[in-house]
Chain A
Amino acid sequence: MDFEVVIGLEVHLQLATKSKIFCSSSASFGGEPNEYIDPVTFGLPGALPVLNYKVLEYGIKMGLALNCEINRFNRFARKHYFYPDLPKGYQISQFEEPLCERGRLDLFINGGWRSIGIKRIHMEEDAGKNIHDSRTGSSLIDLNRAGVGLLEIVSEPDIRSPEEAGFYLKAVRQIARYLEISDGNMEEGSLRCDANISLRPAGTLQFGTRTEIKNLNSFKNVEKALEYEIARQHKILKEGGKVVQETMTFDTSNLTTRPLRSKEESSDYRYFPDPDLPPLVLEESLIESIRQELPSLPNERLKTLTEGFGLSEYDALVLTAEKASVDFFQAVFDVCNNAKLASNWITSELFGRLNKEGKELKDSPITALALGQLISLITDEVISGKMAKSVFDEMYETGESPDKIVEKKGLRQLDNEDDLLKLITKILDANVDQLATYFGGKDRVFGFFVGEVMKETKGSANPKKVNELLKREIEKRR
């Protein structure tokens, strides 16, 4: 029997706000252990949460970007469980009234579009970290991360393969980065993922029993864990067994999943509305003003590049991967007005050079303006494409403008008509015999005259102009 894979992802996105979600402590990554704490973070008696409205704004941005409905009535709820990294004994989250619901993320996968439903997005606070010190046998707690704002983004069970899960996750990160609400860095834990997965006989509608794999912390692990879990469930079902609903963890040392806790211990979180935080009633005007501020998003820009500028899908995907790249492209285009050349110079020359040096676009010594000017020099035939490469290298090394480099090195093409005419007249005068041969029908002698001009100008003459003028002057003498 064939089985269909059904996957839903829960993504935790750590928000890049300056301060935490309910207090003024820094939300920075790193820091000395317990450097970013205060009465609220530490869960001291009497401490009260006060919402950082940046978190709300970022949540609305993400909701709009994922085509969600934004709930006008919002409430925070307490989710209870005991753990040392959870100072209050409850996490402030949202339960019955999440910020966003019923959204959609369209993925461009292998040349086609796939639509993944977004069930809900809600705001919550992060927990701290428990560190076990094997030297002393003691458990240590670092609360720097506790209280940092998170968005939990829950997909519908619309994902059908580990590969699709990878695309979905990357698209979520890409959008978060476009919105500049999170760096989406999985290694530093600012993007984390839980995966729900089940198998069902192909063609049936009812879901199979699912398992949940917790805390997947890299794109690779998401795909590897799902692949392993699919194989495991597949084997059970093929042999007529039953999948047990349980929470799993992915062991990266042997790339297998194993149960984290059994169903019997499944927690009752005893959610109830947090009485310390009054309900948030969102004004239409707030949502509208945030909508107005939204940047144009990856899919839209992908379409602009392919349909508007005629770039290849491949180039367009490379350019839109990061907002900085496509913004850079747009800025280069605005100067040179040539999309094809702009794309080529960015994706092959500039990215090639940056990659080689392990640098990012923001570290580029060549600005978009300068690259645009360089491309303009080519299209205006001031320099040849071949010369442009050496100018590019010089720009990369020195950060100087292309004009300056061309001027300094005398690379400017000779295209002054008077100067060229003088030279051509001189050459024609001096080569009467060759001219006669040409008139005798040997067309290739024309090349001899071009070569003479180039020789005299040390290659800086504008070849197109030279051709034009030579033809005209020779005909005059026929």
Chain B
Amino acid sequence: MVKKDISSRELTEKALKDIEKNSNLNAFITLCADDALKAANEADNLRAKGDTRPLLGVPIAVKDMILTKGVKTTAASKILSNYIPPYDATVVRKLKTAGAIIIGKTNMDEFAMGSSNEHSFFGPVKNPWDTKLVSGGSSGGSAVSVAARLTPFALGTDTGGSIRQPASLCGVVGIKPTYGRVSRYGVVAYASSLDQVGVFARSVEECALLTETISGKDEFDSTSVDITPVGEIKFGIKGLRIGIPKEYFTEALDPIVNSLVSEALNNLRSLGATLVPISLPHTDLALAAYYVIAPAEASSNLARYDGIRYGIREEAEDLFSLYANTREAGFGSEVKRRIIIGTYVLSSGYYDAYYKKAQQVRRLIQNDFLDVFKNSCDVIAAPVSPFPAWKLGEKVSDPLKMYLSDILTIPVNLAGLPGMSIPCGFTSDRLPVGFQLIGKPFDEKTLYQVGATYQKETNFHKELPPGVEDGF
């Protein structure tokens, strides 16, 4: 656009057309065509006047978990299927201020609860590498939007792996920043102490650009933190100590994932990094702790969907039935499952045994990470998902199997650390696989440094799903 090869208007029209053309992927719930085209015209005018902001006029897809003023925001739930928010999430406001164009709202697992994007009121998202396979989740629509080059960027949210896992399964870069770096104001809450907004893009550098744009202390989010911007990305990783946690390379790991990630690690070593074997001994407790803490917070956060003030309402004879009927009709099965688990673990008499215990485990997991960062390594590298994308319907009726797909991403959320998924190769079926970088709190800079250096030497992130062209 700077070179004036293409206008924002043309880019936006192309994106809208491509999304339409690829509607079989089901990546979007709502498109903002009129507003987007209007914004594109404005962006072109500004650019003509010499405005060179990097995101000016660039179309961006936003997960439907993130509120957009005047544009339906559903969290992929029936209960919010008619909900039009009166305010923008802070991250959306920041994007608009940067001149970016919100092109539409992406599909996801209902209230971000899921790992395959099959738990959406609006139907599953399909993987562009093989449309019989899942995209991963919960931010499946956003991952697919970038993977199929419908948009160059997308926002997602990551509570237990919801950005990194679909990024890995779809072959794009996805970052979950440190808890507190990005404001949660205006983001539908799933598990408040774990939720974090993050970014999908084709490259680490683009990911860094967009992450910087949405970061920063927000007076409307008490958990957001004032952190100085990352600045220029450094290239070269000579002498950097990369920790390899043995607990992340178990027999549960698909051999092809194991070998592709190991290849990436060798690559990093050949670029000058030192690989340091480390141990994060409480890793095996993470999944259990997560499935106490996240449902507990979810059961509380979702209490507001009561049919009284907004969202759908099922009329009834009395107040209790109005609540019961509305929530029975409005929530899908996975959401109900987690509300029930969460309500149970917070109940008087069970609180200490479950919630309190899970918080103690969480602290142990945090300390695992802080210990190795203090003593052994500068950054950690590991697999993202234990297996590549699987068939639609394969795990949807077995929650435990589904939950296992997040076993390598959940510890990062529990510890509040930054994590990034970077494409590192393909299976024999040509399904993408990513590897994960985990950083010290607020040390995204090192993740960018390692990731960008790796991508300079590799081309996995440039490969395209069948039939897809990169118009950006």
- Chain A contact residues, CB within 8 Å of chain B: 39, 42-51, 78, 80, 82, 84, 87-90, 141, 268-272, 275-278
Q: Which residue of B lies closest to A40 (CB)?
A: B220
| Given A44-B85, A46-B89, A272-B346, residue A89 in contact with residue B80 (CB < 8 A) | no
Query: Using Cβ atoms and an 8 Å threshold, which residues of chain B touch A270?
Result: 299-300, 343, 346-348, 351
Asked if A90 and B303 make an inter-chain contact with CB atoms under 8 angstroms apart, the answer reads yes
Chain B residues 157-189 with CB under 8 Å of chain A are: 184-189
The 28 sampled A-B contact pairs (Cβ below 8 Å) are A39-B87, A42-B309, A44-B85, A44-B87, A46-B67, A46-B186, A47-B185, A48-B184, A48-B220, A48-B222, A48-B223, A50-B219, A78-B300, A87-B304, A89-B300, A89-B302, A89-B306, A141-B308, A270-B299, A270-B300, A271-B351, A272-B300, A272-B355, A275-B192, A275-B223, A275-B297, A276-B189, A276-B223
8 closest Cβ contacts across the A-B interface? A89-B303, A275-B193, A270-B346, A275-B192, A46-B186, A45-B188, A43-B304, A88-B304
Least CB distance from A146 to B in Å reads: 11
- What's the Cα separation between A208 and B271 when bound, in Å? 77
- What's the Cα separation between A278 and B223 when bound, in Å? 6
Least CB distance from A264 to B in Å reads: 15
Is B319 on the interface with A (CB-CB < 8 A)?
yes
Known contacts A44-B87, A89-B303; 18 further A-B pairs (Cβ under 8 A): A39-B87, A43-B309, A45-B85, A45-B188, A45-B189, A46-B186, A46-B188, A84-B306, A84-B308, A87-B309, A89-B302, A90-B303, A141-B308, A269-B348, A270-B300, A272-B346, A276-B222, A277-B222
Partner of A46, one of B185, B193, B299, B300: B185
Is B226 on the interface with A (CB-CB < 8 A)?
no
Chain B residues 46-102 with CB under 8 Å of chain A are: 66-67, 73, 75, 80, 83, 85-87, 89
Query: Using Cβ atoms and an 8 Å threshold, which residues of chain B touch A48?
Result: 184-185, 220-223
Asked if A44 and B222 make an inter-chain contact with CB atoms under 8 angstroms apart, the answer reads no
Is B426 on the interface with A (CB-CB < 8 A)?
no
Tier of interface size on chain B: 35 or more
Is B310 on the interface with A (CB-CB < 8 A)?
yes
- What's the Cα separation between A42 and B305 when bound, in Å? 12
Least CB distance from A132 to B in Å reads: 12
Q: Which residue of A lies closest to B74 (CB)?
A: A45
Least CB distance from B33 to A in Å reads: 24
Is B412 on the interface with A (CB-CB < 8 A)?
no
Query: Using Cβ atoms and an 8 Å threshold, which residues of chain B touch A268?
Result: 347-348
Is B323 on the interface with A (CB-CB < 8 A)?
yes
Least CB distance from B313 to A in Å reads: 12
- What's the Cα separation between A89 and B75 when bound, in Å? 19
Binary CB contact string for chain B from 346 to 366 against chain A (1 if under 8 A, 0 otherwise): 111001000100000000000
Q: Which residue of B lies closest to A130 (CB)?
A: B319
Least CB distance from B114 to A in Å reads: 18
Least CB distance from B349 to A in Å reads: 9
- What's the Cα separation between A8 and B220 when bound, in Å? 38
| Given A270-B348, A272-B351, residue A82 in contact with residue B300 (CB < 8 A) | no
Least CB distance from A127 to B in Å reads: 13
Partner of A88, one of B67, B299, B303, B319: B303
Binary CB contact string for chain B from 456 to 471 against chain A (1 if under 8 A, 0 otherwise): 0000000000000000
- What's the Cα separation between A42 and B67 when bound, in Å? 15
Least CB distance from A89 to B in Å reads: 3
| Given A45-B80, A272-B351, A275-B192, residue A90 in contact with residue B300 (CB < 8 A) | yes
Query: Using Cβ atoms and an 8 Å threshold, which residues of chain A touch B319?
Result: 84
Is B296 on the interface with A (CB-CB < 8 A)?
yes
Least CB distance from B416 to A in Å reads: 11
Least CB distance from A13 to B in Å reads: 24
- What's the Cα separation between A43 and B347 when bound, in Å? 23
Chain B residues 283-315 with CB under 8 Å of chain A are: 296-297, 299-300, 302-304, 306, 308-310
Q: Which residue of B lies closest to A23 (CB)?
A: B220
Query: Using Cβ atoms and an 8 Å threshold, which residues of chain A touch B310?
Result: 44
- What's the Cα separation between A275 and B382 when bound, in Å? 29
- What's the Cα separation between A183 and B306 when bound, in Å? 34
